[in-house]
Amino acid sequence: MQKLNTNPLFRLLVPKSLRTFFWKKYLESNIINTYHDSDDDEIKDIINNIKKNGLQIISSTLKNEYKAENINVFFDKIKGLKYVNFKGNKKIYFKKRWSKKRIQRALNQLLIEQDINSPHRYLTNKFNVDKDTIVADIGCAEANFSLEIIDKVKHIYLFETNNVWDETLKATFEKYKHKVTIVNKMFSNIDSEKSVDGGKFLKDKGINFLKIDVDGYEDEVMASIDEILKNSSKMKILLCTYHSDNDFKKYSRILKGYKYKVSNSKGYMIFYWDKRLSYPFLRRGVLRAEK
């Protein structure tokens, strides 16, 4: 199935929804067969949930129940954008072309990701931010993470290469513009019209908290900030490691070499959007590092 899933002719002739259905069924069967007798409580939790609910990227037992249809979507006539009331009194805006249902699904997934039992959970009671925290949110997208912590931190630098988020980010953080800097370019190691030398840009900004979620471009980002990582005396890092099988081990080794204490979020993610996903199938969602 893995070879078929990457075959250009198969991908051309078979609709994406059908390819995804067969791929998930293939993974579901293989994961259950591989781990059916595991003694690991985190893995047993995943297997039980797959049997009950089918395969999902986040197959852990979540603390809360999430239903996309219960999310209320509003329209801001002045800005011409749809938004959702986020965490009570904050408005988070979404792309203009997105329908109500797509916004509901997107925000619901973001809420699931940050459930206290989710393998994609960023913060914990011990691994958190405070009034002296200066954040670089690299790969922020709609920036739900930064919006949630904005009242608690000193400043946030938002990096997002996708231009369509520029308008929505400005709307979301309009009342916080005194403590938010939006950089609508790719975080890279060169300065150009479409990219920014991230390491150079952040060098003198007093950054002490890095959140990195860049959909497979982790190597480029980590190389760009290598000097910051090595030379910082106080730093916290949140790095998504589920996009590639070896990411958690690789970056753990690098950061431990720089004297960071490394830990991981609960459970595992099953990133089935990786069409080459193979054994061990389960990946750590978020690496947390601190020194």
- In the prediction, which pLDDT does 165 show? 86
Q: CB 290: neighbour CB atoms within 10 A?
A: 15
Work out the percent of the chain whose per-residue pLDDT is above 90.
86
Tell me, what's the pLDDT at 131? 97
Indicate if the pLDDT at residue 1 is higher than 90: no
- Where b means 16+ CB within 10 Å and e means fewer, 68-107 reads beebebeeeeebebbbbebeeebbbbbbeebeeeebbebb
Residue 7 has pLDDT above 90, yes or no: no
- Give all domains of the chain, ordered by start, each with its CATH number: 2-53 (no CATH), 125-268+278-290 (3.40.50.150)
Quick check: 248 and 283 in contact, CB under 8 A?
yes
Q: Are strands 186-188 and 90-93 parallel, antiparallel or unpaired?
A: unpaired
What residue type is assigned to position 177 of the chain? Answer: K
Q: What's the mean pLDDT in 180-192?
A: 92
Q: So what's the pLDDT on residue 14?
A: 79
Q: Is residue 164 very low, low, confident or very high in pLDDT (cuts 50, 70, 90)?
A: confident
The C-alpha atoms of residue 204 and residue 227 are separated, in whole angstroms, by 12
Contact 284, 119 (CB under 8 A): yes
Query: Is pLDDT of 162 > 80?
Result: no
pLDDT at 11 > cutoff 90: no
Measured CA to CA, the distance from residue 286 to residue 283 in angstroms comes to: 9
